Amino acid sequence: MNVDNIGASELSVQNREILLELAGKRKKLKRLEKKDPEFSKFLESYENGLEKLRDEENFSDEDNTSDDGTQNPSKGSAILSKDKLLTSSALNTLCQLVREQRSISALTSLLNGYRAACHCGTEPSGLLDVDSCCGLQDSKTFSKILIFMLQEADNIFRGMLGISCSSCKKETILELKNTLKWKTMKPLIKSYLRSTLFLLNQVTDSEILAFSLVQLRASIIFFAAFRPLLHRLIKIAVHLWVTGEGCLASHSFLVIKHVASVFRSDCFNSCLIKTYKAFIGHCKFVDPVSSKHIQFLRNSFIELCSQDVPNSSSKAMVCVEQLAKILQMGLRAKKKEAVKRICSWQYTNCIDLWVSFISANIQDYDLKPLLYTIIQIINGVAVLFPGPRYLPLRLKCIQWLNNLSSSSGVFIPVASFALDILEYKTGKDNGKPGKDFNFSSSVKLPKHWLKSRNFQEKCVSSVIELLAMHFAQWSYHITFLLPNNTLHGGANNEVLEERKVDLSIDDGRDGKRVKKRKT
C-alpha cells in the first residue's frame, strides 16, 4: 500500500507539471491568434496532417514511384490543395515553432508545404513554375520553404531523435528502429527524403540541383531505413555526375562517394558498377570540349575505386578480361567490325581508365596479374594497328606503357614501338604545312593529314618526347649500369634478363661484335 501511495503521488506531480506546461503553451497559442488571426485558421485546416503522414499506404517501406523515378500522385499524396494556402506569415510562425519548440504538428505542416513546392511543374527552361504550385501563396513562400527545409531538416531530425550532428554511421539509425521516437519521426523523415529526390528528378537548373545535393548529403544516414530510396538516390547521383558540369558533377560524385563510404559493402558494388557503366556509355565520342569532363569522370572513378582496392581489383580484372576477349577476336578475324570496335574511343578510354587505376594503387596493393594482362592488351593493340593513320593510337599505347613502367618499377620495352614510327614515309619533304591538330583528340587520322609537313614534325616531336620519358626513367637504373658479366639473379631478376636480350650488342671479347637479337 505504501508503494502504491508513493507511485500515485509521483504520477500526480508529473500530471501537474504536464498541465502547467500545456497551460503555458495554450497562452502562447492565444497570443499568436491575437497577433495573426489567419494562423489559427491555418492550424485548424491541418489538424489531420499528421494522420495523413502516418498513413500506411503512403509511407510504407515500398516505393510508390514509377520506373523513371517520379512519384505517382494517384497513390495518396498529401499535397496542399488550393483552398489551404500557406502564407508567408504562417510559414514564419511554423518555422519558429519547429526551431524553438520542436513541434511535431508544425513540422508536419511544413513537410506538406515542402512537398507541394517540390511537386511544382517544370518549364522547358528548367525553372520551377511557381504559378502552378498548389497550396503556396507566392514565389517568396515557395523559395522560403525550400531553403528552410533543405538547410534545417537534417538538424531538426537529428535533434528530435537525439543524434549527434557529427554521426555518420548507419548503425545509429538501425539501433533506433524499435524506439517510440523513431516510429513518430519515420513518416516525417521519409516524406522529406522522397520530396527531395522528386525535386532532383524534376529540376534541371544546375544551381538548385547542386544546393539540394549538398544539403541532402548531410542526411545520408537516414537512407539506412529506406533501401528503395537509397537505390534511387544512387541512380540520380550517377546520372547527374556523368551528365552535369562543374560544381554539379563534383557534388554528385561526393554523394556517390559518401554513400559508398557510409554503407560500405552494401552499396559499394552498386556504386562501382553504375558509375563504370555510366562512364563507358558517356565516352563513346570525344572532342576537345568533352575531353576535360571525361578526364574528371576518370579521376573521380579511380578515387571511388581506391576506397576498396581489393574489391575494385576483382571487378577490374573482369573488365580487363573482357577487353582481352575483344582484342583476341580482332587479332584472329581481322574483320572491319571487330577492328572498328577496338579502334574506338570507348575501347581506348576503358584501357586508359584501368591503366590509371593500376598506376595509382600498384605501390600499395598486389596488382601484378592485372598489370601483366593490361600490358599484353596494349602490346596487342599496338601490333594490330601499325599504319601511319593509327599513329595517335600507337602513341597512346607507348604513353600507357611508360606510365605503367614508372608506377610499377617494371621495365617495359617501348623503344621498338617508338622507333618504328620514325620510319614512316607518308609524304614529300616539301609538302604543305597543313592545319594544326592534336593527337590526343583523335584515334585515327584522315588521309589528307598524312601528307602535311605538320604531321611529320608532330611524329618526330612526339616520339622524341616519349623516348625521353622512357630513357629518363631507366638510363640511370643500376640494372643498366652493371657490366654484362656481373649480371645475376635477385630482386630485379626479371629486368636483368630483359636487359640481356635487348642491350647485348658487344660482348667485349676479341673485338668481335655479337649480332643483335630481337626483343
Express each pLDDT in 377-396 by its tens digit.
999 998 888 777 888 888 89
Higher pLDDT, 299 or 80: 299
Higher pLDDT, 257 or 48: 257
Cell 568533352 belongs to which residue?
Answer: 290
> Which cell numbers in the block locate residue 12?
500526480
> Which cell numbers in the block locate residue 475?
638510363
Q: What is the pLDDT of residue 505?
A: 31
> Is residue 414 a part of any domain in this protein?
yes
SS3 state of residue 217: helix
**What does 377-412 look like in DSSP terms, one character per residue?**
HHHHHHHH--SGGGHHHHHHHHHHHHHHHHHH----
Structural domains counted in the chain: 1
DSSP 441: G
Whole-number Å distance between alpha carbons of 14 and 52:
31
> Is residue 444 a part of any domain in this protein?
yes
What pLDDT, in 10s, does the model give residues 189-204? 999 999 999 999 988 8
Cell 592545319 belongs to which residue?
Answer: 435
Q: Calculate mean pLDDT across residues 68-96.
A: 60
Which range has highest mean pLDDT (63-77, 145-159, 328-342, 464-478)?
A: 145-159
**What does 278-335 look like in DSSP terms, one character per residue?**
HHHHH-SS--TTHHHHHHHHHHHHHHHHGGGHHHHHHHHHHHHHHHHHHHHHHHHH--
Whole-number Å distance between alpha carbons of 235 and 70:
12
Q: What is the pLDDT of residue 462?
A: 84
> Is residue 420 a part of any domain in this protein?
yes
Cell 587505376 belongs to which residue?
Answer: 357
Whole-number Å distance between alpha carbons of 229 and 233:
6
Specify the long-range contacts of residues 160-164, CB closer than 8 Å, at least 24 apart. Answer: 160/102, 160/185, 161/185, 163/221
Which amino acid is located at 314 in the chain? S
Q: How far is CA 416 from CA 383, 457, 499, in A?
A: 11, 19, 14
Residue 94: how many other CB atoms lie within 10 Å: 25
DSSP 514: P
Specify the long-range contacts of residues 54-62, CB closer than 8 Å, at least 24 apart. Answer: 54/187, 59/186, 59/187, 59/190, 59/191, 61/226, 61/227, 61/228, 62/228
> Which cell numbers in the block locate residue 83?
483552398
What pLDDT, in 10s, does the model give residues 458-517? 778 888 888 888 888 887 777 666 555 444 444 443 443 333 333 333 333 344 443 433
CA-based Rg of the chain, rounded to a whole angstrom? 33
- Percent of the chain, pLDDT > 90? 36
For 183, the enclosing helix (H) or strand (E) is: helix 180-202
Average pLDDT, the chain: 77
> Is residue 332 a part of any domain in this protein?
no
> Is residue 417 a part of any domain in this protein?
yes
Helices 290-305 and 345-361: angle between axes, nearest 10 degrees: 40
What pLDDT, in 10s, does the model give residues 151-169? 999 999 999 988 888 777 8
> Is residue 265 a part of any domain in this protein?
no
63: region left, alpha or beta (phi > 0 left; psi from -120 to 50 alpha): beta
Whole-number Å distance between alpha carbons of 334 and 347:
16
Task: Give residue 339's pLDDT band: very low, low, confident or very high (50, 70, 90).
Answer: confident
* CB distance 91 to 142 below 8 Å: no
Whole-number Å distance between alpha carbons of 149 and 199:
13
pTM: 0.75
- Percent of the chain, pLDDT > 70? 72
> Is residue 49 a part of any domain in this protein?
no
Tell me phi and psi for residue 167, to 5 degrees. Answer: -75, 125
> Helices (H) and strands (E) in the chain — how many of each?
22, 0
> Is residue 164 a part of any domain in this protein?
no
Whole-number Å distance between alpha carbons of 329 and 90:
69
Question: Domain span at residue 424?
Answer: 390-477
